[in-house]
Structure 1
Amino acid sequence: MTSSLRIVHCFRSPVGGIFRHVRDLSEAQVAAGHQVGIVCDSTTGGDYEAQLFEQIADRLPLGVARTPMQRHIGPGDLASAARTFRLIKKLQPDILHGHGAKGGVYARVFGSMLRVSRSRVARLYSPHGGSLHYDEKSLTGRFFFLLEAMMARWSDHLLFVSEEERSMFRRKVGEPRAPHTVVYNGIREEEFEPVPANPDAADFLYIGMMRNLKGPDLFIEALAQAEKRLGRRLSAVMVGDGDDRERCIARVAELGLADRARFLMPMPARKAFALARAVVVPSRAEAMPYIVIEALGAGKPMIVSAVGGIPEIFAEATTALVQPDADAIATKMAEALSDETTYATSMPGRDFLKDHFSAPAMAAKIEKIYFDALAKV
């Protein structure tokens, strides 16, 4: 068995947690002596993501290939798929690892096509939430879960980022036909260093995509309610971009918060952490969000929705958990500001975080799974 693998990570959107996961995994795999490349969408992301690609592209032996990929299924999918297949075939992967719904379909379909032509390639899939967030009662959900069940037959291994994500798969799709493992996301050693708040820091930070699933609207409504409960003005910073950004800006103005809730475009998380004393993650659905692990690693007090795999991060300290509801979040905001010191000490301990959510441990577990999967091809 070769000790150096040709690994290609395929995913659609180079933003948020999936992109962070692939970057960390790719860098660790290159450091371990593997040949690694990325294939993803060329129409998603802005200047911040372009800078991240510049930082990593030269370090990846198989490079970065970007081509237009549609988010939703449509007429353009066939042309997009054909372009993506040509890019992947040229890279001659031993491991084809798909991330997210679109990446998962491409990795397993194209990996199977390569095997028909007698290439030896293992097909792996990490949902990262993706299609699993759909309601199983909806037509869209039923369609995607049927597709997930079909694709599972063409999978050599499924990688889940939390026990909750695996449970969700079982509940909505069925028992996985392929071998499957939970491997928690992890952060680098230097990210466990505290990030102190700036002297002029705001009370609360929202950082993430400006889209309904992530709950920026809940953050805004909760901020207004928390002001009323505390009887004083509060300040906030909202960092991120997305389809709902302008709607959020308009809502902040409607609520009379525009002079104390400012919006900034995407930036490195640790730079953003210095802008506020506490971080709020009001998501309606998640798998295992990096931003929560990053914020805790940086020593930031948090208010977090108890969805997806998030409660697994707070297994030994549940104070921060709330339902994704503006009223519940506002109550927790008021609590956090009433006694900031006590609230901060209720977060998960650093030893627990390092034991369960380190990037080197994540990469080592996934590397073993790659070799095991390839050995069975």
Structure 2
Amino acid sequence: MAVHGTVVTGFEGVREEFAAFLAAEEHAPGSQLVVYRGGERVVDLWSEGVGAESLLGVFSSTKGAAYLVAALLVQDGLLDLDRTVASYWPDFASADKDRVTLRELLAHRAGVIGLDDGFTAEELADDRAMAARLAGQRPFWQPGRFFGYHALVIGALVGEVVFRATGRTLHDWYEERVRAPYGLDLWLGLPESEEPRFLSTLPMLPTPEQAAGIEAAAESPYSLGGIAFNEHAPGNGELYDFPNSRAVRAGGQASAGGLGSARGLAGMYAAAAFGLDGRGPLLKPDTAAEFARIHSEGKDLVGGTEKAFGLGFQSYGPSFPAVGAGAFGHSGAAGSLGLADPRQGFAYGYTRRRFAYPGGAAPENARLLWSVVRALA
């Protein structure tokens, strides 16, 4: 499969690694890869099946935009990590949630991973509708004691705190402070005018061995994982199909409904950590360090695997050893990944059109990240 785009001198090995992955993949997806060294774009690659400016569903990589807004508002003094969520949003105090702090919520420790009876498709496309129902939901564990991935709801929960504290939506803050000033192709709410650039997400095509593994690992839809991914709701659709809905794309659901490109993902993290277009970094070093610092580590009650989270952002040491301490970012179910590594001085964005096995940051990211680090060295 042909590779298109450019790399600057010294990053030829990244192009070679990208091409090697595509050649080895039987059902190679349309993929995009972008890397910034500080504020300079040094890698800009894409394969057949997508274009440089194609917009793809980035699933939970969307969360990085939501957490960046929260970090900016904490930095501005408009949000306080150690205030209770209920002090901003009184309805949230019901059902034993009155002492949950914003810090605990961001660290996936609140226990409000979904609803007893699930969401409708219409609700899942609307953060404020989800928040209204989540306000009365009892937690699925003692808040603060454990952690578990709030997969489809964390954007709605954080977004409601933002709205109650500032009178403006998270989407408005993101558009004004982050996306529009840098012209980033990472959208929370895709305008109709941008629809022609959207490419629908394609389903995963597992090998027979992978398919057997998926079947063996299946859980009850009423497990914590099933509830977190809304699998117990009547008529719940396939996860890969989520961004293929125009309602989801238009609503810009802040947990998983973002549309973007590798340029948009990498550019957002470069702007956050290093600055772009002659502007300084969006985040002060202390803010970036606080949001990157691990707050939850160990067994994730929802996923059942070992995970580490900062304040919303994922920590990558265990899964991607090439990434330095203090890096912050987020992956998405189809395989996308965006992050900034302040210590090693780079920002990274990767997307793919076909859903990856087993979901989350696609395995090829490990090889691609090592190639980036080698080039930097």
Q: Same fold (TM over 0.5)?
A: no
TM-score with structure 2 setting the length: 0.29
**Which structure features the higher share of helix residues?**
1
Question: Which entry has the higher C-alpha Rg, 1 or 2?
Answer: 1
